[in-house]
Each structure stands twice: as structure tokens, then as C-alpha cells.
Amino acid sequence: MSDTIFEGPLVLIEPARKPGTWGEIVVGTIVGILNSSEALIDHSRNTSGAPMKARTLTLLTEKEIGQQAVLGFEDGNASLPIILGTIKTAETEARHLTVEADQEKFVLTADREIVLRCGQASITLTRSGKVLIVGEYVLTRSSGANCIKGGSVRIN
């Protein structure tokens, strides 16, 4: 018995496209976020004049608004866009967090703020120099002096 499943010439048949369908990739812009898996997009071939609702393969956040996105179309239907991903540029990548680490130091740098969050607790560092510590219970402990310094100190 042979392992051959098919014998004969291989023939590729290009499926016929219905009018108003697209098989190519289109670059568009994310103009709004509906939720983490749906967005509003616009692109040069959008003839409706209004942003279109699109599903996405990647999770989206508000930081993607204004970024270019690679679009495909479900079953080639121009009214069913799917965001395949966002186009990364030096400008969009510069908005992300930078991390530097060595044996001595670990540095996180962000343009606006850094938030560490776990459940109800968070520590926020802002560009303006504020440090916000929020939690159900906050404890500071020191084997040496526990100093509080500031222009003014308010307790309760």
C-alpha cells in the first residue's frame, strides 16, 4: 500500500471574489477603543465617511488610538475589518516604558507615570514628582530612623 494520498497534477483554483470584497491587506488608523477586543478604525478605502467597528487579534488599550493598524477583512468583506496588529514606529515605541537593569540597579522609566498595582494596593510615580501610595493597610518599618521630611507634613 502506498503512502500517496493524491496522484495527478496539482491545480490551484483562485476563488472568485464577489463585488465589494477585498483579499488584500489595508493599512488604517485606530480612531477609538470600544473595549480590549474591538476598536473604531478608518482607512483610505472606507467609503462610509464614518469610522468602522473592527475586531482585533491583539488586546488594545487607549495608547493605540492614533496608531496605524494592519487590517484584513473577514471573508474578504469590506464591511468586516479585523485588526491584525499595529505598526510599530520609533515614535510609538518611544512612548513605551524603558527598562535598564544590572547587578546593582533596576530602573523603569516612563513618559507620564509608573504604577505598580496588586489587588487593592498601588504605588504611583508621576512626572510631576508625586509618589502616591494607596492600600487597605500601609506599614513602614525601619531598624534605624524612620524619617518623614517635606515642606509640610499632615497626619490625618
Per-residue pLDDT tens over the stretch 32-75: 999 988 999 999 888 888 999 999 998 888 888 899 999 999 88
Q: Is the pTM of this model over 0.75?
A: no
Q: What is the mean pLDDT of residues 27-33?
A: 94
**Superfamily of 26-90 according to CATH:** Nucleic acid-binding proteins (2.40.50.140)
- Tens of pLDDT along 120-139? 999 999 989 999 999 999 99
So what's the pLDDT on residue 53?
A: 95
Question: CA of 79: how far to CAs of 41, 65, 70, 74, 76, in Å?
Answer: 11, 20, 15, 8, 9
Q: What percent of the chain has pLDDT over 90?
A: 35
